[in-house]
Structure 1
Amino acid sequence: MTKYFLLGLMCLSASAVATATTDASITLANHCPPGFELTQQNSCKLHSLYDQYNSLYNRGVGGLKTALPTRRDGFSPQQIDLGRHLFFDPILSGDKSLSCASCHHPQLGFADGLPRSIGIHGREATRAAPSLWNMAFLTRFFWDARASSLEEQMQGPLYSDVEMGNNPGQLLTDLNANADYRRLFAEAFPEQAQTITLDQIYLAIAAFETSLVSLNSRYDHYAHGFHGALNQTEQEGLNIFRSFVARCAECHTPPLFTNQQVAVIGVAEPDGRPFDTGAETIFNNPTWRGGFKVPSLRNIARTAPYMHSGTFDSLRDATEFYTLGRGHALTEAQNKNMVLHWHIWEPKLTDDELDLLVTFMETLTDESFTPAIPAQVPSGLPPVGQLPPALQQTITFEEGNSDE
């Protein structure tokens, strides 16, 4: 069964925000999200079947019973739920038209389904919005890996002129002028000053983002010993994925399906766009010219289009790219100035093998812990995902979560 989720943009003046009120008092959750244990210290600790494994490389790269890297957890339920309300609240943007969920919507794999995101005043960003699933395990953020924490990362889109278009002063003024937000921040940070601070804002959103855990796919069931979770075709795709010929698992290493490294793979920019130097500029490293962080393949079937600028519309096309030969997508001049990752070679996979890889990657879908979109947010603005029909584009999704 399907139903319509409505997603769009709207603009309200700052004066309209100041007078907007919520229909009922918003309270914060006192329980942890699914998969987390509430400790006696009122913190949420994540538990996973992967905790029983103690090796990051069991039976070679791509082994099934491999451990997860160090994770970030320990936030209170109130901090996580406050972050959830902030995440969906357009008050965070400069003109009150966008929230974090505008580019990271839960019904679009926590991406936005666009080759390059659209920000404030309809401005186009330079890259696609990456998915936010399993952020708790990552150590570098952005396609070019320039941020080392979620708090550092979120300041990029918040204050970018082509994304949310806000500034620290306006953000603090708007939130501190809101009685509901002052009350909720005091509840989430009871031992701190009652004036809302930037650090509290960043931490609350980070707390919510680290609760977005996807580790319960059919692949995971198979990895933990239930071999009936994957059919024969999907198991054949997994075998190709792990093989020394395709070498997918060497960069997209289970169980996160990323090794969190920067890789230069030689993707061309679509539509004649200027070449994106990627991590080279950030790290002043010429060997990383055109290099980008290896993305996780978790929920990859939900996050088309693919690559840093949405070069490929389908997962099949993105998969085929890797078998067409080193540097095939680049000009001769670009190839001379690029140090392609040594895994980018010519495996000469057949069409059937490519189809099997796609079939396997589709088993990595798990959205069972998708959080609910708040029915209302403290600003009084319609939360992204719950906008009035006259202000939205209509998109059909599978049956999803909503607030109680």
Structure 2
Amino acid sequence: MIRNFSFKQTADALVLAFATALVMPQAAYADGDLSDFARPAGIPFPAETPYTPERAALGQRLFFDPQLSADGATSCASCHQPEKGFEDGRKTAAGLRGRTLARHTPTLWNVAIQTALFWDGRSHSLEDQALRPVSSTVEMNLDLGLLVARLSADRTYVAAFAEAFPDDPAISPDTVSRAIATYERTLISPLSPFDHYVAGDENALSEEAKRGFDLFTGKARCATCHTGWAFTNGGFHDIGLTDDDLGRGALTLRKFDEHRFRTPTLRELLSRAPYMHDGSLATLEAVVDHYADHRKPRLFALGSVKLSPTERADIVAFLESLNGTTR
């Protein structure tokens, strides 16, 4: 259960709480400057759709509403479950009528900072991303015209859209997507032990986690791709998983992009198992073993890295320190 993130809070209280929590004093350490890992000063909202409590509350309501699916039984939250790190705990996602999809449900934690969405980066904004699963024939399969008709028949939705978009009150796919995107931008991962460590509390991390952080940013070279406070560079990489999914290559049709997938955030990992774009790795230990045991020249051209069992355990301890909520 997530105890630090209450969905009963009003949307404006959510953003105020997050904006306050995001501001952490930076501290320089003798073993290196940790400012690159300091949380940002606020949540980025686009100028054309600035945050308002009414807009975020409407987006939250839409996110949890099964009316956004053809069968009226599936909502965005069916796959992006808060208690499961905004994933679903399945190896790969479930589509329409229980159909098994090819990829693992990606987390929505910290999507406000992402410049490319989905595992293959097909969307470049949350507004574009929001309704793709709704209209997808293998996911929620709802015609957007029917979606508008359903919502327009509900007087409470008509009033909510008028409050959220006073200059453009008509319910439309555009206003639906903008409302959902506003809510999704508030999904900033909560403060973790590592954040307190960055802020100067040397006791916030165990000695194992501190050693793991040193390995993560040094010998193990994890920070080559998992950078910044959210631990992602937003790039696309082939990490050597043996499946037939062409990833970004199927989108760009470039050989270079084949089997490349977006680097995910490493925040809130404890509730997000299984891992990877195909859900093939069940534990954090298995993830670390994959990189340590199967690193090949195509994996970032970094060559092999030998990690002892103790070093691997230390890296896992560090990854666990990035969690601000309970399992």
User: How many Å apart are 1:289 and its aligned residue?
Assistant: 1.0
- State the distance in 2 between where 1:69 and 1:312 align: 34
1:2-49 CA distances to partner (integer Å, 9 max, x unpaired)?
89xxxxxxxxxxxxxxxxxxxxxxxx95x6133528xxxxxxx93555
1:221-248 CA distances to partner (integer Å, 9 max, x unpaired)?
10111111112111111111111x2011
Does the CA-based 8 Å contact 2:91-2:278 persist in structure 1? yes
Match of 1:98 among 74, 79, 90: 74
Q: Secondary structure at the match of 1:311?
A: coil
Does the CA-based 8 Å contact 1:86-1:205 persist in structure 2? yes
- The answer to whether 1:147 aligns with 2:123 is yes
Deviates more, 1:158-167 or 1:107-116: 158-167
Match of 2:65 among 59, 84, 89: 89
- The answer to whether 1:294 aligns with 2:251 is no
**What letter is aligned with 2:171?**
I
User: How many Å apart are 1:68 and its aligned residue?
Assistant: 4.0
- The answer to whether 1:224 aligns with 2:204 is no
Aligned match of 1:360: 318
Aligned match of 2:110: 134
**What letter is aligned with 1:139?**
T
User: How many Å apart are 1:367 and its aligned residue?
Assistant: 3.7
Structure 1 residues 35 and 188, CA, compared in 2 at 3 Å: closer, same or farther?
Answer: closer
- The answer to whether 1:304 aligns with 2:304 is no
Aligned match of 2:228: 254
Aligned match of 1:175: 151
Aligned match of 1:46: 19
Query: Larger radius of gyration, structure 1 or 2?
Result: 1
User: How many Å apart are 1:256 and its aligned residue?
Assistant: 1.0
- State the distance in 2 between where 1:225 and 1:302 align: 26
Does the CA-based 8 Å contact 1:252-1:259 persist in structure 2? yes
| Matched residues, number | 315
Aligned match of 2:140: 164
- The answer to whether 1:209 aligns with 2:209 is no
Does the CA-based 8 Å contact 1:263-1:291 persist in structure 2? yes
User: How many Å apart are 1:341 and its aligned residue?
Assistant: 2.2
- The answer to whether 1:264 aligns with 2:262 is no
Structure 1 residues 211 and 305, CA, compared in 2 at 3 Å: closer, same or farther?
Answer: same
Aligned match of 1:116: 92
Does the CA-based 8 Å contact 2:23-2:42 persist in structure 1? no
TM-score computed with the length of structure 1 as normaliser: 0.72
User: How many Å apart are 1:255 and its aligned residue?
Assistant: 0.7
Aligned match of 1:342: 301
Aligned-pair identity (%)? 35
TM-score computed with the length of structure 2 as normaliser: 0.88
Does the CA-based 8 Å contact 2:120-2:260 persist in structure 1? yes
User: How many Å apart are 1:319 and its aligned residue?
Assistant: 1.2
Does the CA-based 8 Å contact 2:44-2:112 persist in structure 1? yes
- State the distance in 1 between where 2:124 and 2:294 align: 33
- State the distance in 2 between where 1:197 and 1:206 align: 14
- State the distance in 2 between where 1:241 and 1:293 align: 19
Does the CA-based 8 Å contact 2:22-2:40 persist in structure 1? no
- The answer to whether 1:281 aligns with 2:247 is no
- The answer to whether 1:33 aligns with 2:9 is no
**What letter is aligned with 2:230?**
L
Does the CA-based 8 Å contact 1:90-1:97 persist in structure 2? yes
Does the CA-based 8 Å contact 2:24-2:38 persist in structure 1? no
Match of 1:72 among 33, 44, 49: 44
Which runs of 5 or more residues in structure 2 are unaligned? 3-8
Structure 1 residues 219 and 99, CA, compared in 2 at 3 Å: closer, same or farther?
Answer: same
Q: Secondary structure at the match of 1:116?
A: coil
Structure 1 residues 293 and 265, CA, compared in 2 at 3 Å: closer, same or farther?
Answer: same
User: How many Å apart are 1:156 and its aligned residue?
Assistant: 2.0
Greater relative contact order structure (CA < 8 Å, 6+ sep): 1
- State the distance in 2 between where 1:285 and 1:362 align: 36
User: How many Å apart are 1:300 and its aligned residue?
Assistant: 1.1
Q: Secondary structure at the match of 1:121?
A: helix
User: How many Å apart are 1:52 and its aligned residue?
Assistant: 6.0
Does the CA-based 8 Å contact 1:84-1:205 persist in structure 2? yes
